[in-house]
Amino acid sequence: YFTLTEPGVYNITVVVLSESLGNHIREASLWIRSYPA
């Protein structure tokens, strides 16, 4: 039983957003680490 309901779309959006956010955080931390204060 599978329907593309609002919760399903919401879950997919959360997964995609958190994945993209994780990549940005990883890039930012690498960038910060390569430029020591």
What string of DSSP letters covers 1-37?
Answer: -----HHHHHHHHHHHHHHHHHHHHHHHHHHHHHS--
On the question of pLDDT at 26 being above 80, the answer is yes
Given pLDDT bands bounded at 50, 70 and 90, which one contains residue 18?
very high
The answer, yes or no, to whether residue 6 has pLDDT greater than 90, is no
**Looking at residues 8-33, what average pLDDT do you find?**
89
The pLDDT, as a whole number, for residue 22 is 92
Q: Which pLDDT score is estimated for 12?
A: 86
Section 6-28 average pLDDT:
89
